[in-house]
Amino acid sequence: MRLDLTTDLVTLLQTITDVESVSGNERQLADMVEDALRAREHLDVTRDGDCVIARTHVGRDQRVVIAGHLDTVPVADNLPSRLEETPDGLHVVGRGTCDMKGGVAVQLQLAGELSEANRDITWIFYDHEEVGAELNGLRRIAKNSPHLLEADFAVLMEPTNAQIEGGCQGTCRIRVTVPGKAAHSARSWLGHNAIHSLADVLERLNAYEAREIDVEGLTFREGLNAVSVGGGVADNIIPPSAHIDINYRYAPDKTPDDALAELRGVFPGYGFEVTDMAPGARPGLDREIARDFVDSVGSTPRPKYGWTDVARFSALGIPAVNYGPADPSLAHTDHEYCPADQLDTCANGLRRWLTMTKEA
């Protein structure tokens, strides 16, 4: 099957949606994307595993990256795709339509169309976004061929309801383990109940006041929450150990070291194990190229609540935003869908940005 990049976006979205590409099974779709892009003379195409990179070399003074992932979470009886007429308009329903094949369809159409853009463009279609970070296609490219990611600005086509979401929060997960002393529950006074000792940790979490922090004109709201609790041996044993897992979502004004310092301040006297850490990304909206993007798209930027791969670009010194069709709250749901009108909104916004004449 060949992809027709000149067809309408709804048809293109349905075509790529119906090629099942659960993480680890992106090969068929990556092959189709590669074949379609190699047929365009204006694109220089590179393949790394199941990641496809297509670049223009027009000689512009700026280069931008526009990226999207090909993989989806597992299918839940929601393939093949279907069209659904609603009072809000036409919806394309099916696994991956929201996260994020709607954005990929926009990328593909514009990659085939824009042979003489006002900036050189690197189109990236990558694999393994929905699984562990060690498998992520962008991470692999940054390690194997970092020159392919070089750019002045990046747009990640994650679903944002066709609105600009700048940067992203950082995320840190820690485990606080509290010791106790085992004893028979009939003689509990001979032991020390570790689960009961978690009360102080929970009280600190309840007392924590999440802050709203301005970063380059966007207000990020932080959060510190217990996400799981564990402990205990048997129904008749006083638990000798208990733990609580805590997730801190922090504003991108902080580094990972800043985040850890904040946690030490909340839990003085407690040691903890860091089980996950991913830095946030500053929006970069103070850059001229970002202002051009905002003006062209015509959207008021909002903060990105959550972590996305824009942080990978930020770590390379490349300002990046999220901008794609569909409601992110529908991602991974059994009834995820992408509104047809948002496909057009995003395609037209990017097209204006990449074809408008820049003022001298």
Positions marked catalytic: 71, 129
Residue 52 has φ and ψ, to the nearest 5°, of -115, 125
Rounded CA-CA distance 231/246 in Å is 15
Contacts of 90 (CB under 8 A, 6+ apart): 10, 83, 84, 339, 340, 341
Rounded CA-CA distance 109/201 in Å is 52
The single-letter code of the amino acid at 200 is D
Measured CA distances, 45 to 35, 48, 146, 226 (Å): 9, 10, 15, 45
Work out the number of other CB atoms within 10 angstroms of the CB of residue 22. Answer: 16
**238-262: buried (b, 16+ CB within 10 Å) or exposed (e) per residue?**
bbbbbbbbbbbbbbbebebeebbeb
Rounded CA-CA distance 245/261 in Å is 17
